[in-house]
Amino acid sequence: MSTEVRPVKDGDFFAWLDLYAKYAEFYDTELTDQRALVLWSWLTDPDHEELGFVAVDGDRVVGLAHVREFARPLEGDRGLFLDDLYVVDEERGKGVGHQLIAAVRDLAEERQLGVVQWITANDNADAQRVYDSVANKTGWVTYEIDLAAAQNAETA
Amino acid sequence: MTADVRRVEDNEFFTWLDLYAGYGEFYETPVTDEKALLVWSWITDPENGLEAYFAVDEDGTPIGLAHVREFARPLDGSTGLYLDDLFVLPDARGEGAGTALLEQLRDVAKERGLSVVRWITAKDNQEARRLYDRVAEKTKWVTYDLVP
């Protein structure tokens, strides 16, 4: 296997979009053109905190990861949050997910960050098998006040 | 009885530290002087996204504390508000300070057009979870940590 992980660059837009649309589909989230362009502008703007990695096999993009730093007040340090991780169906089980996570971990190490953290749905068993082999499942429970849903309900 | 909520001001370091040290104790994570000064520098630096709020009682005495920051949500194409720390003095619990803090944060997020207020808590923190279950939704997210 000759898959490599590298930061996204300007020429990757269409290949990246293709993958990101599949990722959004997996999460039942509609990816509008506008939303995709906003995110791409974040990834390619050196002043924006969101960074992207792609896994490439030759000139094919087969995986992606999006990360950003976050403050951890009680720890008195910063961490790296993995917002999105995706590997195309036909490349799964070949270690691409591990390679992406390793690249993210290397970045965290280089920046001396205290943790790499991410969330996944409790029913996403495939992903959790990969995650359980590289990271620790925490006991945290996440709560949300969903304002978008509240706003939609008000305008409906 | 209801508590008022306001931003923590630049000259309130020692008042803030009292509350934050109590919070650190609860989570068995000591707030060392070094850590306190670092976090305080984040709170008071307008370039840093960390914000601090006090809940105050009827005499204006701070009895609760919250730290929040905005965060990017790529898949949602939006920005949310993350609640890092929430603490109410043990003696002042059950009087609405926690609810007042969460309601204020919800209003702040709403005003700014943010899509969500999100936080985590320990599974066995029953006292806090009773409050959270009233004002928020428990999600299906599982959190993973990898220490580099």
Give the model's pLDDT for residue A135.
Answer: 97
Return the sign of the alpha-carbon dihedral for residues A120, A125, A127, A130.
positive
* Closest approach of B58 to chain A, Cα-based (Å): 27
Give the model's pLDDT for residue A3.
Answer: 95
pLDDT tens per residue, range A106-127: 999 999 999 999 999 999 998 8
Q: Domain with A91 in it: what CATH number?
A: 3.40.630.30
pTM of the model: 0.93
Beta strand A51-57 with A116-121: parallel, antiparallel or unpaired?
Answer: unpaired
Number of domains in chain A: 1
Query: Under a CB-based contact definition with an 8 Å cutoff, are residues B67 and B50 in contact?
Result: yes
Residues of B numbered 75-104 whose beta carbons fall under 8 angstroms of chain A's beta carbons: which are they? 75-78, 82, 84-85, 102
With tokens 């009680």, the residue in question is A74
User: Is a pLDDT exceeding 80 seen at residue B72?
Assistant: yes
Q: Residue B145 falls within a domain, yes or no?
A: no
Which of A97, A143, A10 lies closest to B106 in space, CA to CA?
A: A143
pLDDT tens per residue, range A91-111: 998 999 999 999 999 999 999
Which of B86, B31, B37 lies closest to B63 in space, CA to CA?
A: B86
Half-sphere exposure of A44 (CA within 13 A, CB side): 13
Residue A23 parent element (H or E)? helix A13-26
One-letter amino acid identity for A74? L
Residues B146, A134: C-beta atoms closer than 8 Å: yes
Residue of A41, A74, A110 to mutate, testing the B interface (most B Cβ within 10 Å of its Cβ): A74
d(CA B116, CA B126): 23
What's the rounded mean pLDDT across residues B102-131?
Answer: 96
d(CA A8, CA A52): 5
Domain residue limits at A60: 3-155
Share of chain A above pLDDT 70, in %: 95
Q: Domain with B25 in it: what CATH number?
A: 3.40.630.30
**Six-digit token pair at A35?**
């939303």
Domain residue limits at B61: 4-135
Give the model's pLDDT for residue A149.
Answer: 72
d(CA A132, CA A144): 25
Q: Residue B147 falls within a domain, yes or no?
A: no
Confidence grade of residue A30 (pLDDT, cut at 50, 70, 90): confident
Number of domains in chain B: 1
